[in-house]
Amino acid sequence: MQVAEAKNRIVKLREQIEDLRYRYHVLDDPKVTDEVYDSLNRELKALETRFPELMSADSPSQRIGGKALDKFVKVKHDSRMLSLNDAFSEEEMQDWQTRIKKLEANSKWTYACELKFDGLATSLVYEDGIFVLGATRGDGFVGENVTQNLRTVQAIPLRLDLELKRGKLSEELKQRVISSLKKTKKIEARGEVLMKKKDFAKLNKLEHGKYANPRNTAAGAVRQLDPNVTASRKLFWQAYSLVTDLGQTTHSEEHQILLALGFPVQQTRDCLTLQEVFKFKNWVAKSRDKFDFEIDGIVVQVNERQTFNRLGVVGKAPRGSIAFKFAAKKATTIIENIIVQVGRQGNLTPVAIMQPVEVGGVTVARASLHNIDEIHRLGVKIGDTVVIQRAGDVIPQIVEVLPKMRSGKEKEFYMPKKCPVCQGDVKKAMITTQKTSKTDQRSITDSRAAVPRSLGEGGGVALVCTNRHCPAKNLRGIGHFVNAFEIYTIGPKIISRFKDEGLISDAADIFTLKKEDIEPLERFGEKSADNIIASIDQHRKISLAKFIYSLGILHVGEETAIDLAEHFGTIEKLTSASFEEIDSIPNIGGAVAKSVYEYFQDEHSLKFIEKLLKSGVKVESEKLKVKSGPLLGKKVVVTGILESLSRDEAKEAVRKAGGDWVSSVSKNTDYVVVGSEPGSKAGKANSLEIKILSEAEFLKLIE
């Protein structure tokens, strides 16, 4: 085949694949079959391999195959990603309307209503119609760049339909949008990453019930450093707002435009009064189980953009919109017993064992009581009838005791004087979960009520087992370890089984497991043995930060681990560091430094690390954070082609000079370096009055 012919075929394949994708994911047309879609993709991939010069960034074949990252790069949002205030009752909705009426006494408005999806907020940026940046919300101002991962989500278009061929826009609206598009290079849409209930059920079946709920699983999948893992999770994406002004005058027009551009989006239900809104909400509540996704309410907003914008923002949320949520689900049951679990750091947590009861479609039989203070606050006794609640997330909580239901046989609960697992001494200690990230919390929720939740927000005093060899600590420690190594085939049940069978005594033993060890175990077999061994092998290599985190050092969450890795660069340097050096690192306080120092002074820890390295764990050293240089603290964008440096070399040069490499220009950018054939960034830098440097000026600056 000649290049010209291949080119024609490739163009046709891309169009056909994009059309099928749109029909399947955006129009939800079940007639499209996976086989046809896969087959066209295979042919495209083969042709692009033969003719690499015909590759392009928006080709559907570019969805997968990206390299695993060491960590996510932070990105600043062009405009803040807000959140929503909640209402749980019609009265609260009336109050909201009254507040708006006060501010907009002379306006008339309507309401645009839509489903509120229970997923993870993300922003997608397109330049000239091509997907260039996908980011998480983060703190609303700065999120993480997860572009590679979001590319794998089939519902996300890699190229927008700027000719609006597909949507059903009125001619007038279409003209308005087309004329706005002429003046717009960059388009930003925001929406929710989701997992369909059926895809979640499939995954969880495959992985023996490892995941707590679709939302956490979707959020975890987006934050995978390896895009291939994200790709395997079958995520979905739904748009809910168009940030860029494309001439929309109402929120419902915004949705129509999003659809015409190629995004999956629901149509809004437009309501004239709150009474109509309530009707819609009741219908959604009744139909809740029939939707493909988890929803936790509806979003109601003032439809007219001008009024909406005038209403402005209060706190973190726009005044003109509100989440009208379904009431938390509650049920009553009886506490049969209160047991005490021992966590990874030896913390003793009381857990209520209850008569199983269904709350919002999930059977609940246990709930953490967090600590003795919480037990006193609730006034709960063994035998009590209690109200349990499952709010937005799935962790069930005991919210109230019904004392009138008491028979007099209820028993007071006391915390044990010895560790219930090893009979070791217990003492009071501070447990911090400071700086643990969402993924950390995810592992907490995964182990279902294993760790006291009230300690989740900043920590507190807990009873802890002092025995270093306590088997319970060890078990949870191994759980934490495999999570940090992302060996997802090994869940808590399997760890416990391996321990019982004598296959492992500590986490390092995992790396010397062989297929023959696992295969003969009842309920395992060849396939699962293969899977486990393969995933262990795939995860032998680990970044220094993750490795430090995996060790489960008291007070060291993911962020602290990153700080330590960036300061020391190698594990050897960290193990031999003095207390003073650790304590001197910004962001690391005295208690944390002490804990880190003591951990590495302990010969058990050093032996354990040595054992890991001998078992084939490869720790990648970290690039040291540059703490001085001419670009210290400066954000630098490079656009166009530089003569003396490749893009990677330029990146490295910026880093070495202490600067931060950023990919898009915003008002926080300090320098824009402009090479030949610069893109739109140069113009943007000009309009924002950001200092522009030629290549020569840049080189001089970093000399």
Look up residue 356 and give its two tokens: 């199983």
Decide: is 241 part of the binding site for ligand IVH (CB under 6 A): yes
Buried b (16+ CB within 10 A) or exposed e, 673-688: bbbeebeebbebbeee
Among 189, 242, 299, 529, binds ligand IVH (CB under 6 A): 299
Residue whose CB is less far from ligand IVH, 115 or 462: 115
**Nearest approach, Cβ of 121 to ligand IVH (angstroms)?**
3
**Category of 557 on φ-ψ map: left (φ > 0), alpha (ψ -120 to 50) or beta:** beta
Decide: is 277 part of the binding site for ligand IVH (CB under 6 A): no
Decide: is 291 part of the binding site for ligand IVH (CB under 6 A): no
Residue whose CB is less far from ligand IVH, 214 or 318: 318
What residues from 181 to 220 belong to the interface with ligand IVH (CB under 6 A)? 192
Residues near ligand IVH (CB under 6 A), total: 14
What residues from 336 to 365 belong to the interface with ligand IVH (CB under 6 A)? none
Residue whose CB is less far from ligand IVH, 298 or 619: 298
Q: How far apart are CA 117 and CA 407, in angstroms?
A: 43
Q: Among the candidate windows 30-38, 108-116, 589-597, 669-677, which touches ligand IVH by CB under 6 A?
A: 108-116
**CA dist 260 → 117, 132, 372 (Å):** 21, 19, 56
Cβ of 374: how many Cβ atoms within 10 Å? 18
Where helices occur in 142-206 by DSSP H, the ranges are 147-151, 171-182, 197-206
**CA dist 591 → 40, 551, 595, 600, 616 (Å):** 58, 17, 6, 15, 32
Among 16, 56, 62, 83, binds ligand IVH (CB under 6 A): 83
Site string for ligand IVH, 123-142 (x = CB under 6 A): --------------------
Residue whose CB is less far from ligand IVH, 120 or 260: 120
Residue whose CB is less far from ligand IVH, 261 or 690: 261
**Nearest approach, Cβ of 323 to ligand IVH (angstroms)?**
5
Q: Which of 393, 4, 57, 55 is nearest to 219 (CA)?
A: 393
Question: Which 8-state DSSP code applies to residue 453?
Answer: G
Question: Which 8-state DSSP code applies to residue 100?
Answer: H
What residues from 461 to 520 belong to the interface with ligand IVH (CB under 6 A)? none
Among 37, 117, 326, 547, binds ligand IVH (CB under 6 A): 117
**Nearest approach, Cβ of 703 to ligand IVH (angstroms)?**
45
**Nearest approach, Cβ of 141 to ligand IVH (angstroms)?**
14
116 tagged catalytic: yes
Residues whose CB is less than 8 angstroms from the CB of residue 646 and which lie 6 or more positions away in sequence, other chains included: none
Residue whose CB is less far from ligand IVH, 344 or 390: 390
**Nearest approach, Cβ of 108 to ligand IVH (angstroms)?**
22
Decide: is 243 part of the binding site for ligand IVH (CB under 6 A): no
**Nearest approach, Cβ of 231 to ligand IVH (angstroms)?**
22
**Nearest approach, Cβ of 144 to ligand IVH (angstroms)?**
15
Which listed residue (12, 116, 205, 627) is catalytic? 116
Buried b (16+ CB within 10 A) or exposed e, 570-595: ebeebeebeeeebbebeebeeebbeb
SS3 151: helix
Decide: is 82 part of the binding site for ligand IVH (CB under 6 A): yes
Cβ of 655: how many Cβ atoms within 10 Å? 17
Look up residue 458 and give its two tokens: 């900043």
**Nearest approach, Cβ of 259 to ligand IVH (angstroms)?**
14
Q: How far apart are CA 271 and CA 331, in angstroms?
A: 33
Among 18, 48, 58, 114, binds ligand IVH (CB under 6 A): 114
Q: How far apart are CA 677 and CA 488, in angstroms?
A: 46
Decide: is 240 part of the binding site for ligand IVH (CB under 6 A): yes
Decide: is 653 part of the binding site for ligand IVH (CB under 6 A): no
Residue whose CB is less far from ligand IVH, 191 or 452: 191
**Nearest approach, Cβ of 329 to ligand IVH (angstroms)?**
18
Q: Among the candidate windows 115-123, 242-250, 346-354, 618-626, which touches ligand IVH by CB under 6 A?
A: 115-123
Q: Among the candidate windows 76-84, 283-291, 427-435, 568-576, which touches ligand IVH by CB under 6 A?
A: 76-84
**Nearest approach, Cβ of 693 to ligand IVH (angstroms)?**
37
Q: Among the candidate windows 3-11, 113-121, 173-181, 690-698, which touches ligand IVH by CB under 6 A?
A: 113-121
**Nearest approach, Cβ of 620 to ligand IVH (angstroms)?**
34
Look up residue 440 and give its two tokens: 């950390």
Residue whose CB is less far from ligand IVH, 323 or 593: 323
Decide: is 440 part of the binding site for ligand IVH (CB under 6 A): no
**Nearest approach, Cβ of 362 to ligand IVH (angstroms)?**
21
Decide: is 690 part of the binding site for ligand IVH (CB under 6 A): no
Please give the backbone phi and psi of residue 491, each rounded to the nearest 5 degrees, phi first.
-95, 180
Decide: is 605 part of the binding site for ligand IVH (CB under 6 A): no
Q: Among the candidate windows 9-17, 110-118, 381-389, 630-638, which touches ligand IVH by CB under 6 A?
A: 110-118
What residues from 302 to 341 belong to the interface with ligand IVH (CB under 6 A)? 318, 323
Buried b (16+ CB within 10 A) or exposed e, 313-340: eeeeebbbbbbbbbeebebebebeebeb
Q: How far apart are CA 467 and CA 348, in angstroms?
A: 13
Look up residue 119 and give its two tokens: 């997923």
User: How many Cα atoms occupy the beta-carbon half-sphere of 703 within 13 Å?
Assistant: 6
Q: How far apart are CA 326 and CA 86, in angstroms?
A: 10
Residue nearest to ligand IVH (CB): 121
Residue whose CB is less far from ligand IVH, 22 or 240: 240
**Nearest approach, Cβ of 240 to ligand IVH (angstroms)?**
4
CB-based contact 465:342 (threshold 8 Å): yes
**CA dist 424 → 119, 505, 506 (Å):** 42, 19, 19
SS3 558: helix
Residue whose CB is less far from ligand IVH, 83 or 538: 83
Residue whose CB is less far from ligand IVH, 237 or 481: 237
Look up residue 561 and give its two tokens: 């681990």
Look up residue 304 and give its two tokens: 């007219």
Q: Among the candidate windows 28-36, 78-86, 541-549, 566-574, which touches ligand IVH by CB under 6 A?
A: 78-86
Please give the backbone phi and psi of residue 425, each rounded to the nearest 5 degrees, phi first.
-70, 150
Residue whose CB is less far from ligand IVH, 109 or 547: 109
Decide: is 254 part of the binding site for ligand IVH (CB under 6 A): no
Residues whose CB is less than 8 angstroms from the CB of residue 139 and which lie 6 or more positions away in sequence, other chains included: none
**CA dist 607 → 72, 111, 614 (Å):** 31, 64, 10
Residue whose CB is less far from ligand IVH, 125 or 596: 125
| Amino acid occupying residue 176 | R
Decide: is 121 part of the binding site for ligand IVH (CB under 6 A): yes
Q: Which of 156, 139, 177 is nearest to 316 (CA)?
A: 139
Q: How far apart are CA 465 and CA 473, in angstroms?
A: 9
Among 44, 47, 84, 470, binds ligand IVH (CB under 6 A): 84
Residues recorded for the chain? 703
Q: How far apart are CA 296 and CA 317, in angstroms?
A: 18
Give the interface with ligand IVH as residue ranges (CB under 6 A).
82-84, 114-117, 121, 192, 240-241, 299, 318, 323
Which residues carry out catalysis?
116
